[in-house]
């Protein structure tokens, strides 16, 4: 199916498509002071933008969780000696529950207001990673609170990895392995035929497989890469990566920045080699879009405000094979 026809179908009732919509942290998280109330407010705004797609298609929503996991780890540090500590994998699971609840409730309320009978369900999602992934030898993903130098030295002696960020202090870094498999993919696909599914929050709970069983591991998986893995696994028609900018850009932030409206996989690799996309920001989004496009799907990177325009070819960066 041609991508322009696919995008048109997503906005109409003529043929239901399977969509994975990845809500980035910048697309749904409030800037400034964070509260549960502001979480609900921002999620509600994002839901209103994607609602026409939710109404007419089989939809799976994924989401970021960086601020939530950070705050969970701060609470763990503050409660040491008073409450049992939890590993990072459990913190990710807790953040999936928190944001799953917020997104689910906002979406249920919107469906009820529009008098649409459609269920919504959140699924705690485990994501398989390779225990030999290079990131385990070179952790780079910052998580949790900042520490003074003395505390950072103690963490180093315990075998933890820390880095120094100018003006802020020392911070723990953990591996960010590449997602290999969504454990609950088939369940998510089956349920999405009858309900909107919220899954793979924050990239999912990282697990490894050894001695015949799964085990959680201290790491975080990029949300966009996990979304692409899920979209490929369930053979979705479209992957929408929503962030805080309307396009991916050449020379982003510079005087000669230029929006990229379309990319082939080959062109995306070229842009990546040239260093146009920042690590931890646009880079994983383009990598995820390319991964999904490799399987024959269409991916779009844009912001919630420009979603409708992107689906009609007037905004957003479209990546296809």
Convert the pLDDT of each residue in 179-228 to its tens digit.
Answer: 999 999 999 999 999 999 999 999 999 999 999 999 999 999 999 999 99
The per-residue pLDDT for 3 is: 54
Lowest mean pLDDT among 87-91, 141-145, 300-304: 141-145
Please identify which of the residues 141, 297, 306, 316 carries the catalytic annotation. Answer: 141
Those residues whose C-beta lies under 8 Å from the C-beta of residue 254, and which sit 6 or more positions away, are none
Please identify which of the residues 64, 285, 297, 306 carries the catalytic annotation. Answer: 285
213 is catalytic: no
- Enter the CATH code of domain 3-138+175-308: 3.40.1160.10
Secondary structure class of 240 (helix, strand, coil): strand
Bridge partners of 241? 22, 301
Bridge partners of 62? 22
201 is catalytic: no
The per-residue pLDDT for 1 is: 47
Question: What's the average model confidence in pLDDT over 115-135?
Answer: 96
The per-residue pLDDT for 209 is: 97
CB-CB contact of 254 with 321 (8 Å): no
Outline where DSSP puts E strands in 51-105.
58-63
Model pLDDT for residues 217-260, shown as the tens digit of each residue: 999 999 999 999 999 999 999 999 999 899 999 988 888 899 99
Domain ranges of the chain: 3-138+175-308
Model pLDDT for residues 275-320, shown as the tens digit of each residue: 999 888 899 999 999 999 999 999 999 999 899 899 988 899 999 9
Which range, 16-25, 65-74, 107-116, is most confident? Answer: 107-116
How many degrees, rounded to 5, is the angle at CA 274 between CA 270 and CA 277? 95
26 is catalytic: yes
Please identify which of the residues 57, 223, 297, 316 carries the catalytic annotation. Answer: 223
């Amino acid at each position: 199916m041609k991508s322009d026809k696919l995008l048109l179908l997503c906005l109409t009732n003529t043929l239901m498509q399977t969509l994975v919509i990845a809500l980035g942290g910048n697309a749904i998280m409030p800037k400034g002071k964070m509260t549960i109330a502001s979480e609900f407010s921002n999620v509600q705004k994002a839901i209103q933008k994607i609602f026409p797609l939710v109404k007419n298609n089989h939809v799976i929503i994924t989401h970021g969780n960086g601020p939530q996991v950070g705050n969970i780890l701060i609470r763990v540090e503050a409660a040491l000696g008073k409450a049992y500590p939890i590993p990072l994998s459990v913190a990710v699971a807790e953040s999936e529950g928190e944001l799953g609840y917020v997104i689910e409730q906002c979406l249920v309320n919107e469906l009820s207001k529009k008098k649409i009978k459609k269920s919504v369900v959140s699924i705690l999602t485990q994501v398989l990673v390779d225990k030999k992934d290079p990131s385990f030898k070179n952790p780079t993903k910052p998580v949790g609170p900042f520490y003074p130098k003395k505390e950072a030295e103690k963490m180093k002696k315990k075998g933890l990895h820390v880095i120094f960020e100018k003006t802020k202090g020392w911070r723990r870094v953990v591996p960010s392995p590449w997602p290999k498999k969504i454990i609950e993919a088939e369940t998510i696909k089956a349920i999405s035929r009858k309900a909107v599914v919220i899954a793979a929050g924050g990239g999912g709970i990282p697990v490894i497989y050894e001695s015949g069983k799964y085990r959680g591991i201290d790491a975080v998986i990029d949300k966009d890469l996990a979304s692409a893995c899920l979209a490929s696994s369930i053979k979705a028609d479209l992957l929408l990566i929503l962030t805080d900018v309307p396009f991916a850009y050449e020379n982003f932030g510079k005087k000669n920045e230029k929006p990229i409206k379309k990319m082939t996989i080959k062109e995306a690799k070229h842009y990546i080699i040239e260093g146009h996309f920042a690590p931890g920001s646009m880079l994983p989004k383009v990598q995820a879009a390319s991964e999904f496009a490799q399987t024959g799907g269409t991916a779009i990177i844009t912001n919630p405000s420009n979603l409708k325009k992107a689906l009609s070819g007037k905004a957003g960066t479209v990546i296809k094979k």
